[in-house]
Structure 1
Amino acid sequence: MARLTIKGISKSFGATSAVRDVFLDVEDGELVCLLGPSGSGKSTLLRMIGGFEEPTAGNILIDSKDVTSMPPEKRPTGMVFQSHALWTHMDVFNNVAFGLKLRRLPKADIRERVEQALVLVGLADYAKRMTTQLSGGQQQRVALARSLVLEPKILLLDEPFASLDQHLRERLREEVRDIQQRLGITTLFVTHGQDEALALADRIVVMRDGCTEQIAPPDRIYRQPETEFVAGFIGSMNFVRTTVRGGVSQHAAFALSVPVADGEVVLAVRPEALSLVAANGMGGGIVHRSIDFGTHKIVEVDLADGARVKAMTSSNSAWAKGASVEPVASAFRAFRDNRLVHESGAIAARQNDRVFGHA
C-alpha cells in the first residue's frame, strides 16, 4: 500500500493554467474523489500523478519517493481510462496479461495472476472472449483487471463509468468500492458526478478553475460547504440573494438573523432544511408544483421576487399547486464573494440519496 503526497503541483498549457498550486495528501488505503465541472483540472491532475502529463511546477511523492520526473511505466501506479483503451485484436486474457508480459514474468506466474484478477472483477469465465464481444460494463471490468494485475501501489480512475447507463454505473461503482476496500489499495477517482463522489469517497477534493475549493469527507462537503461554489455543486441547494441591514436579512420570505456587516449576501438553504407553513401574511410564496419521490416530496415554491426554492416534505404532505405558503429555514449558510461568512443551525443527515441530482 502507499501514501501519495502532492506538493504545489501546477500545469500550464501555454498561457492557460489547467492546475494551479495544488497540495494534497492521500493516506494509505484511502479513496479520494477529484470532483468538479469540465475544465476544472481534475483529469489533468490525475494524469500528472500517473506520469502522462509533466507538471509545470511542484512535486509528486509516493511513499516519500519523488516520482515527478519518472515515466508512467516506471511508476507504481495503475490507470483506468474512460475509453477502456482495450486491444480489440486480443482476447480478455491477453489484454489483462499484456503488462505482465512486458515485465517478462514466467508464463505460469502470468496465468495465475491474470486468473486471480479476472476472478476479482467477476470475469473468471470470460478469459477467451474477444473484447468486442463484451458489454460496456464488462469492458470496463477488463480495464480494471489490467491495472490491478500489475499490483500498483496507487490506482487511478479517470471517469471510468461516464459512458455507461445509470443503473450499470451504480452497480459498477459499488463493485469497485468493494474491490478497493478488499485490497486496501490507495485510490484516486476522477468524476464530475456528485452522486459517485458521495457514494464512493473517503474524502472529496472539489476543484474549480484548476484550484481546490474544499477538501473534506462527503458529509462535511454536503453539510458544511466552505464556498458558494461548493454549496451549489454538491447536492440540491436553494440560493436566495438578500441585503443585510443591522444583522437582519431584508428578504421578505427570509427575514433571518445574519450577524455580519451590512451588504449583499447569498443565503444557501438545503431543501431538507426548508419547511413550509400556510401563509398568514405577506412575504411568502406560491406553490409551483409538488414532485412525489415515494419516500418524500419536493415542493417547488415561487417567491415574490421571482426566485424559486425547493422544500423537502413528507410523502403524505398535500401542498396543492397555487397554495400560498411561507418557507421556514431551520439551517442556512451565508456567503459573500464566494466565501462563508455565517452559518446557522445544523443541516440534518440526508434523508435519501435521491435528493442528490435534483435540478
Structure 2
Amino acid sequence: MSVLKITDVSKIFPNGPKAVDRFSLDVADGELVCLLGPSGSGKSTLLRMVGGFETPSSGLMTIDGEDITRLPPEKRPTGMVFQSHALWTHMNVFKNLAFGLKLRKVPAAEIKRRVEGVLDLVGLGGYGLRSVTQLSGGQQQRVALARSLVLEPKILLLDEPFASLDQHLRERLREEVRDIQQRLKITTLFVTHGQDEALSMADRIVVMRDGRTEQIDRPDIVYREPRTPFVAGFIGSMNSLDGTVTKGIFTAANFTVGLPVSDGPATLCVRPEALDLKVVADGPHGNVHRVTDYGTHGLVDLALPDGTRIKAMVAHPDLFQVGQGVRMTPQAMAAYRDGMLIHRTAIDASLSRPPERIDA
C-alpha cells in the first residue's frame, strides 16, 4: 500500500507570490493523478516538494502515514523522472541505473538482477552496455524512467517527461508508461501542461491555477462538466459567448438560446462537437469563415456579427462553404456567472434527465 497525502501545503519564494497556496490532495494506492495547468500554476513546484527538491513553507506531506515534509530526496520512498532526463553521460546505461542501488549498498548480484529486470520492463533489454549518448531521445527517457523504477519507490513522480519529444514519440511513450504504471500498480503523480496526456493517462486530473486547485475529477468529468470558466476554457476546445439572460433567454450578438437561470450577465460555453450547424438563407447567427477537413471530421470556423469566432465540429465538411449563413443549435452547454457554474445541459439530457439548474 502506497498512499500520498498532501495537506494545506504552501510554497512562498523570496520576494515573490505564493507558488503553491494551501494545496491539498490524497493520491490513492496505485492511482495515477495528473497535475495539469498553464505555466506558473505551481504544478512543478508542488511535484518538487513531494520529491524533496523544494521545502514547503507550510503544510504536511505523508506517505503511508509517515511525515516526509522535511526529509531530503534520498531519504524519501519516491522516484522522480525529469523532463531533461538528467542522465550521466560518462556512464553507460547499466551504471546509470546501478548508481542509486550502489549508494544503498545493495549486493552486486541483486543490482544486476534488478537492473536487467527493469531494462526489460521499459523495452531496453540488452542495452546495459550502451553509452547513453548513443541512445535516441525516447530511449534516454526510458532509461530515466528505469533509473527511478529500479529503486522500487512507493511513489513515482513524473515532471513533464515527454515535453522534449516529438508528437508521435510522445503518444507512444505515454501509452507505454501508463501500461508499466498499471502493471506495477505504482502510485504516480504526473505533471504536464498537455491536455491530451492528462486525458489519456490519468485516473484523476487536478487542474491548477495560481497555485490553487480549480477542479479535481476523473478526466471525463473534467472535460464534460467543468466547474469554472477557467477549466472550461483550458481543457479541450471550447466556444465561449459573453451575453445577458433576460426572462430565461440568453442573448449574445444575434444568437439566442433558452437558459433557465435568473436575469443578468452570463457566459455560455459550448464544445465544438456539441454544436449543430444548419445552412440558412435568412436570419443566420453567423457566416462561415473557414472550413478545415481533417479527414476523420471537419472544423467549421464561424464569424458572428460582433466579431466573435465560433468553431463547430462536423461530420461532412464538404456541405459548408465560405460565406454561407449558418444557424447554431447547442446540443450541450454550460453557463457561468461570477466564476461559478449556474447551469449545465448534457448531450443526453433530453433522454436521461431534465436540464440541471445550479442557480443560486
TM-score by length of 2: 0.94
1:259 aligns with 2:260: yes
**Counterpart for residue 122 of structure 1:** 123
C-alpha contact (below 8 Å) 2:284/2:326 kept by paired residues = no
**Counterpart for residue 248 of structure 2:** 247
- Between the aligned partners of 1:57 and 1:260, the Cα distance in structure 2 is 41
**Counterpart for residue 5 of structure 2:** 5
C-alpha contact (below 8 Å) 2:2/2:30 kept by paired residues = yes
Which residue identity lines up with residue 166 of structure 1 in the other structure?
Q
1:16 aligns with 2:25: no
**Counterpart for residue 326 of structure 2:** 325
C-alpha contact (below 8 Å) 1:294/1:315 kept by paired residues = no
- Deviations, residues 11-37 of structure 1 (Å, cap 9, x unaligned): 001241000011111110000000000
Which residue identity lines up with residue 319 of structure 1 in the other structure?
F
C-alpha contact (below 8 Å) 2:155/2:186 kept by paired residues = yes
Which residue identity lines up with residue 3 of structure 1 in the other structure?
V
Which residue identity lines up with residue 92 of structure 1 in the other structure?
V
**Counterpart for residue 340 of structure 2:** 339
- Between the aligned partners of 2:295 and 2:284, the Cα distance in structure 1 is 30
For this pair of structures, how many residues does the alignment match? 348
- Deviations, residues 176-201 of structure 1 (Å, cap 9, x unaligned): 00000000000011000000000100
C-alpha contact (below 8 Å) 2:300/2:317 kept by paired residues = no
Alignment of 1:152-191 (within 5 A): 152-191=153-192
- Between the aligned partners of 2:105 and 2:206, the Cα distance in structure 1 is 38
- Between the aligned partners of 1:347 and 1:98, the Cα distance in structure 2 is 55
Alignment of 1:192-231 (within 5 A): 192-231=193-232
- Between the aligned partners of 2:51 and 2:257, the Cα distance in structure 1 is 49
CA shift for structure 1 position 69: 1.2
Taking every aligned residue pair, what percent have the same amino acid on both sides?
64
- Between the aligned partners of 2:313 and 2:276, the Cα distance in structure 1 is 7
CA shift for structure 1 position 324: 0.7
C-alpha contact (below 8 Å) 2:51/2:73 kept by paired residues = yes
1:92 aligns with 2:93: yes
CA shift for structure 1 position 104: 0.7
- Between the aligned partners of 1:174 and 1:226, the Cα distance in structure 2 is 28
Higher alpha-carbon deviation: 191-200 or 1-10 = 1-10
Which residue identity lines up with residue 124 of structure 1 in the other structure?
G
Higher alpha-carbon deviation: 322-331 or 337-346 = 337-346
- Between the aligned partners of 1:253 and 1:333, the Cα distance in structure 2 is 19
CA shift for structure 1 position 257: 1.9
Alignment of 1:112-151 (within 5 A): 112-151=113-152
1:271 aligns with 2:283: no
CA shift for structure 1 position 251: 2.2
Q: What is the alpha-carbon root mean square deviation over aligned residues?
A: 1.3
Unmatched 5+ stretches in structure 2:
350-360
Higher alpha-carbon deviation: 76-85 or 260-269 = 260-269
SS for the counterpart of 1:255 is: strand
CA shift for structure 1 position 247: 2.2
1:295 aligns with 2:296: yes
- Deviations, residues 110-162 of structure 1 (Å, cap 9, x unaligned): 00000001001111121111111111111101100000000000000000010
CA shift for structure 1 position 300: 0.8
CA shift for structure 1 position 338: 2.2
CA shift for structure 1 position 331: 1.1
